[in-house]
Amino acid sequence: ASIQIAANGRRTVTTEDFVAALAQVNYDWSLAEANRWIEHYQSTFKDVSTEEGERRTFLLFNPNNGGF
């Protein structure tokens, strides 16, 4: 699974992990394609990347209670 769960319960996914998971099921996406898909289709993912570029990190959050 490309979503990582930290000890504090925070769920994150990196673009690199997402692309690797897609490759396992024969989808060959670039980092840019994966970022566009996440931004367009996943409204509960917030970009928490610490650096510029296509290698990004997204935090899964619950908009109904403001937490994660």
pLDDT tens figures, 10-51? 999 999 999 999 999 999 999 999 999 999 999 999 999 999
- Which strands, in side-by-side order, build the sheet including 45-47? 3-5, 11-14, 57-60, 45-47
Question: Is 65 a domain residue?
Answer: no
Q: Which amino acid is at 42?
A: Q
What is the sign, positive or negative, of the torsion defined by CA atoms of 65, 39, 42, 19? negative
Question: Is 67 a domain residue?
Answer: no
CB 58, CB 2: distance < 8 Å = no
Structural domain including 33 reads 3-60
How confident is residue 67, by pLDDT bands cut at 50, 70 and 90? low
How confident is residue 62, by pLDDT bands cut at 50, 70 and 90? confident
How confident is residue 54, by pLDDT bands cut at 50, 70 and 90? very high
Question: Is 29 a domain residue?
Answer: yes
Quick one: pLDDT at residue 52?
95
Quick one: pLDDT at residue 58?
97
- Tally the domains of the chain: 1
